[in-house]
Structure 1
Amino acid sequence: MPLLDVRDLRVEFPTRHGVLTALHDVSFSVDKGERLGIVGESGAGKSVAAFAILNLLSRPGRITGGRILFEDRDLATLSRADMRAIRGDRISMIFQDPMMTLNPVLTIGTQMVETLKAHRDISDAEARRIAIQRLGEVKIPSPEKRMASYPHELSGGMRQRVVIAIALLTEPALIIADEPTTALDVTIQAEIMSLMLDLCRTHGVGLILITHDLAVVSQVTQRVVVLYAGRVVESGQTARVVQNPVHPYTRGLLSALPGEGEPGARLNQIRGSMPPLTAIPPGCAFHPRCDYAEERCRVGVPPLDVIEDHNVRCTRARELIRGVAA
């Protein structure tokens, strides 16, 4: 049985313009210790999926269908008190900006000790010992001294290491990392991702990595889910999806990577942009941006089809594999 099993998840936002659907019957699973990537541009629904798992959807957002089974409990049906016992304990989350996560007026040590004591019946001394140990695991020098530091006294990379240490405090079964390196420079990004990978392997923690960067996903995750306009358009083993992408959107994301273009040439890009929830086109939502779109792509939403160990939502997928699509 998977550690986390999300099935047919549907999230809606009632507005004055009508009910807007942010996620359409999204399904994925994470086994114990497994690393899953959720990929897509801004507006694809990646963060909404993460917030739905943790019951952190901003109002008026609501789950209107599907189930979220975690350790054999449906998180979508739990009370607020039961959900608080899981959030931050069995499931931890790492957000994009550590300065939005950490309290600027409390020391790192105070925040870590309070986090532990909120979920464990332990003494201050024991909580402090565990906190120092976790800071050491994330490669923070002089962890005892850093316990007395305030967030603004640390660099961006150090702050994100602290956030990772806090996420590991309660020895969670699953960590959800939402664009954890977006606010960092490139060299620090690589260090943080390598650190997260090592820690997940060491602690046997499952990881959901939310990102727009397929290059990062290819290095860190074992399976990947590609979202577009709130729907899964492709999923499968990361290596197979990256090496042999089927859906035109996945192919576009990969071709847009800096290393895919000719030296000195303009970077490849997918024309157009992600449609807003108020203007999702009929049929396949990607068809206005797709080089292979036909009239049938504009009529109905294609079902997920299993092709070469991928789940693909494209009416022309088999033609694309054979190289006959034009």
Structure 2
Amino acid sequence: MALLDVHDLVVEFPTRHGTLTALNGISFAVDKGERLGIVGESGAGKSVAAFAVLNLLTRPGRIAGGSIVFEGRDLTTLSRAQMRGVRGNRISMIFQDPMMTLNPVLTIGTQMVETLKAHRDISDAEAKRIAIQRLGEVKIPSPDKRMASYPHELSGGMRQRVVIAIALLTEPSLIVADEPTTALDVTIQAEIMSLMLALCKSHGVGLILITHDLAVVSQVTQRVVVLYAGRVVESGRTDRVVHNPVHPYTRGLLAALPGEGEPGARLNQIRGNMPSLNAIPSGCPFNPRCDHVLDDCRAALPPLDDLDGHLVRCIRARELMTGRAA
């Protein structure tokens, strides 16, 4: 049984102009210790998927269908009190900006000790010992002294290391990381991702990495899910999806990476923009931007085609896979 099994998840946002569907029947699973990437442009539904797993959707957002089974329990059926026993305990989350996560008026040590005592019946001394140990694991120098520091006294990279240490405090079985390096300098991003990868391996923790960067996904994750307009358009083993992408959208994302173009030439880009939730095209939602579009693509939404474990939502998937598509 998978550690986390999300099946046919639907997330809606009711508005005065109608109901907007942010996620429309997406499914994915994470095994114990496995690392899964969820990628796509802004507006694809990546962060909504992460918040739905933790039941952190902002009202009036709601889970309107599907199931989220974690460690054998459907999280969509839990009460608020039961969910608090899961969130921050069995499932931890790392957000984009550490300054939005850490309390600016409390020391690092106070925040870490309070987090532990909220989920464990332990003494202050034991909580402090565990906190110092976790700070050491994320390569923070003099961790015992850093316990007395305030967030503003640390660099952005150091703050994100603290956030990772807090995520590991309760020994969760799953960490959800939502664009964890977006707010950091490029030189620091690789260090943080390498650190997260090493810690997930050493602690046997499952990871869901939310990002727009397929280059990061290829280095960190074992499987990947590509979202577009709230639907899964491609998923499978990361190495297979990255080296042999089939869906035109996945191919466009990979072609847009800086290293894919000629030196000095303009970067490749996917023409057009992600559709807004109240104006999703009929048929395949990617059809207005697709270079391989047919009339049938505008008529009906294609199902996910299973290409030997590599799932692709495109009526021309088999042609594209074999290179026969014009």
Q: Quickly name the TM-score band, shorter chain normalised.
A: over 0.9
1:237 is the counterpart of 2:237: yes
Which residue does the alignment assign to 1:159?
159
Amino acid in the other structure paired with 1:274: M
Which residue does the alignment assign to 1:169?
169
1:67 is the counterpart of 2:63: no
Which residue does the alignment assign to 2:50?
50
Which residue does the alignment assign to 1:269?
269
Question: Which whole-Å CA distance do the structure 2 matches of 1:88 and 1:184 have between them?
Answer: 23
Amino acid in the other structure paired with 2:82: D
Two-structure CA RMSD over aligned residues (Å): 0.6
TM-score normalised by the chain length of structure 1: 0.99
Question: Which whole-Å CA distance do the structure 1 matches of 2:198 and 2:307 have between them?
Answer: 32
**SS in structure 1 opposite 2:49?**
helix
State the Cα distance separating 1:308 from its structure 2 match. 4.1
Which residue does the alignment assign to 1:90?
90
TM-score normalised by the chain length of structure 2: 0.99
> Percent identity between the aligned chains?
84
Which residue does the alignment assign to 1:246?
246
Which residue does the alignment assign to 1:141?
141
Amino acid in the other structure paired with 2:55: N
- Spell out the pairing of 1:89-238 with structure 2 (5 A cutoff): 89-238=89-238
Question: Which whole-Å CA distance do the structure 1 matches of 2:220 and 2:256 have between them?
Answer: 19
Question: Which whole-Å CA distance do the structure 1 matches of 2:311 and 2:321 have between them?
Answer: 13
Question: Which whole-Å CA distance do the structure 2 matches of 1:43 and 1:202 have between them?
Answer: 33
Question: Which whole-Å CA distance do the structure 2 matches of 1:302 and 1:311 have between them?
Answer: 12
Question: Which whole-Å CA distance do the structure 1 matches of 2:155 and 2:80 have between them?
Answer: 35
Question: Which whole-Å CA distance do the structure 2 matches of 1:75 and 1:64 have between them?
Answer: 13
CA deviation profile, 1:158-201 (whole Å, cap 9, x unmatched): 00000000000000000000000000011100000000000000
Amino acid in the other structure paired with 2:170: T
Question: Which whole-Å CA distance do the structure 2 matches of 1:243 and 1:322 have between them?
Answer: 14
State the Cα distance separating 1:142 from its structure 2 match. 0.5
**SS in structure 1 opposite 2:58?**
coil
State the Cα distance separating 1:324 from its structure 2 match. 2.0
**SS in structure 2 opposite 1:277?**
coil
State the Cα distance separating 1:261 from its structure 2 match. 0.5
Question: Which whole-Å CA distance do the structure 1 matches of 2:279 and 2:316 have between them?
Answer: 24
**SS in structure 1 opposite 2:11?**
strand
Amino acid in the other structure paired with 1:26: I
State the Cα distance separating 1:18 from its structure 2 match. 0.6
CA deviation profile, 1:231-273 (whole Å, cap 9, x unmatched): 0000000000001000000000000001100111111000111
Question: Which whole-Å CA distance do the structure 1 matches of 2:67 and 2:220 have between them?
Answer: 27
Which residue does the alignment assign to 1:302?
302
CA deviation profile, 1:26-61 (whole Å, cap 9, x unmatched): 000000000000000000000001111100000111
CA deviation profile, 1:108-130 (whole Å, cap 9, x unmatched): 00000000000000000000000
Question: Which whole-Å CA distance do the structure 2 matches of 1:313 and 1:159 have between them?
Answer: 39
Question: Which whole-Å CA distance do the structure 1 matches of 2:290 and 2:262 have between them?
Answer: 22
CA deviation profile, 1:125-166 (whole Å, cap 9, x unmatched): 000000000000000001011000000000000000000000
Which residue does the alignment assign to 1:287?
287
**Number of residue pairs the alignment of both structures matches:** 326
State the Cα distance separating 1:307 from its structure 2 match. 1.4
Amino acid in the other structure paired with 2:191: E
CA deviation profile, 1:276-317 (whole Å, cap 9, x unmatched): 101111110000110011111111110001114310000111
Give every structure 1 segment of 4 or more consecutive aligned residues whose post-TM-superposition deviation is greater than 6 Å: none
Question: Which whole-Å CA distance do the structure 2 matches of 1:259 and 1:213 have between them?
Answer: 12
Question: Which whole-Å CA distance do the structure 1 matches of 2:309 and 2:258 have between them?
Answer: 27
Question: Which whole-Å CA distance do the structure 2 matches of 1:108 and 1:173 have between them?
Answer: 23
For structure 1, the residue ranges without an aligned partner over 5 or more in a row are none
Question: Which whole-Å CA distance do the structure 2 matches of 1:265 and 1:142 have between them?
Answer: 46
**SS in structure 2 opposite 1:279?**
coil
State the Cα distance separating 1:325 from its structure 2 match. 1.5
1:16 is the counterpart of 2:16: yes
CA deviation profile, 1:76-121 (whole Å, cap 9, x unmatched): 0100000001000000000000000000000000000000000000
For structure 2, the residue ranges without an aligned partner over 5 or more in a row are none
